[in-house]
Amino acid sequence: MKIKQPRPQLDYLLQETRRQLIDFSNMADTKANILLSVSSVLITIALTRVNDPSWRLAVVVLAIFMLITITLALLTVAPSIDISPRRKRSQDDPEFNPLFFGNYSHMSYEEYRRHMEEILNNPNTSYEVQVHEIYHVGLYLKHTKYNFVKYGYIFFFIGTISSIIVYLMQNLK
């Protein structure tokens, strides 16, 4: 990445983009928490009717969909868990991100400090690292958090509508 002339506007652009990504992450977490709360309350209320034959099938349908919704909401707010042994990335690896703790946590402080010193003393590299970070955070948000939230809402609405339809079909004979 070649920056002809570093200037405050570029710094502001990168700073605002990172702030927006944090806001988007917080929005996904808030939406997931809403789904989690509403789904939990619905299951709790619905299960009080499970012994009533006229409600049983509708409650089971609702409970299944709400449990899937709760799972998706939890996956949204839970940190990524990788049970496979983490591959240590070298500073020379193009996927190495010196701003992500998962990549630099295996390095000694001195090694990390030297690496960051090189980055911070070269404006082009400094901008490249920030752009790399923004790109990967955006990918993470789109492919994990927002996918889980989207599917959580889909299962929530399908489950709610399906249980109403099942109840009406059973009781409007």
9 in a structural domain: no
Which pLDDT belongs to residue 124? Answer: 87
CB proximity list for 142: less than 8 A, separation 6 or greater = none
* Each residue's pLDDT tens digit, 43-82: 999 999 999 999 999 999 999 999 999 999 999 998 876 6
146 in a structural domain: yes
117 in a structural domain: yes
- Is the per-residue pLDDT at 148 higher than 80? yes
CB proximity list for 138: less than 8 A, separation 6 or greater = 21
73 in a structural domain: yes
- Is the per-residue pLDDT at 168 higher than 60? yes
Which letter does DSSP use for residue 86 in this model?
P
By mean pLDDT, which of 38-42, 85-89, 145-149, 157-161 is the weakest? 85-89
In whole numbers, what is the pLDDT of the chain averaged over residues?
90
- Is the per-residue pLDDT at 83 higher than 60? no
CB proximity list for 163: less than 8 A, separation 6 or greater = 46, 58, 59, 61, 62, 65
* Each residue's pLDDT tens digit, 15-47: 999 999 999 999 999 999 999 999 999 999 999
12 in a structural domain: no
Which pLDDT belongs to residue 90? Answer: 66
87 in a structural domain: no
- Is the per-residue pLDDT at 130 higher than 60? yes
2 in a structural domain: no
57 in a structural domain: yes
Residue-range definition of the domain harbouring residue 125? 26-78+92-171
Question: Structural domain tally of the chain?
Answer: 1
Prediction pTM value? 0.82
Which pLDDT belongs to residue 80? Answer: 72
Q: How far apart (Å, rounded) are the C-alpha atoms in residues 62 and 163? A: 5
By mean pLDDT, which of 6-15, 74-83, 124-133 is the weakest? 74-83
